[in-house]
Amino acid sequence: MDAVKNRIGMEKRLFEVCLPVVREQGYLLYDLEYLPTQKLLRMYIMDPATKSAVIEDCIKVDHALTPVFEQNEWIPEEVVLEVGSPGVYRHISSLSHFEMGVGEVHEVTITGNLEAAPKKIAGAKKFRGVLKAAAPAAITLATSEGDVEIPLTQIKKAGLDPDFNELMNKAAQAGEE
């Protein structure tokens, strides 16, 4: 995994034109993927306060992007724009994503073996724990077997992995307030 997602070509241009528009609407552009064979631009936004997005947020961003897409002739007319929330179990693909998730539960799959892992989990390929720190070279997870430092270069796949029951309890408590 790269510390910064390396965008190229059309995806890079689309990211650069969409980023300021999303910010102007008061949201973070969490991620964006351009699928040219499907003529699809999939964008994930979030409200910085809630780390999520509701349908009204997505509609607001979609409407704000319409004139931008119409003014830029290099953007293919047939591109379909999908604006959504990155979700509760969101995919992590960059250091900034990890930085946003410090203190939350993550699941991380690695390549190779970790040199400094606790003995009980030294050969493990999958780790789950609370993200304690995110730095340019590595992240630190607090697992049930102890803290594990995982170099970003060894991360194959990562995502938030909150406990579903805990999420439901928080939602119920929020509804009571």
Residue 177 — pLDDT band, cuts 50, 70, 90? low
Which tens digit of pLDDT belongs to each residue from 136-161? 999 999 999 889 999 999 999 999 99
pTM of the predicted protein model: 0.81
CATH code for residues 95-160: 2.30.30.100
Residue-wise pLDDT for 26-65, tens only, equals 999 999 999 999 999 999 999 999 889 999 999 999 999 9
DSSP state of 123: T
More confident residue, 176 or 101: 101
State the pLDDT confidence band at 23, using cuts at 50, 70 and 90.
Answer: very high
**Which pLDDT value is given to residue 163?**
80
How far apart (Å, rounded) are the C-alpha atoms in residues 90 and 2?
17
Residue 164 has what pLDDT? Answer: 73
Q: For the chain, what are the domain ranges?
A: 9-84, 95-160
Each as own residue / partner, the long-range contacts of residues 100-103 (CB below 8 Å, 24 or more positions apart, any chain) are 100/51, 101/131, 101/134, 101/160, 102/131, 102/132, 102/133, 102/134, 103/130, 103/131
- The single-letter DSSP state of residue 81 is E
| 9-84 CATH, one of 3.30.300.70, 3.30.43.10, 3.30.70.20, 3.30.470.20 | 3.30.300.70
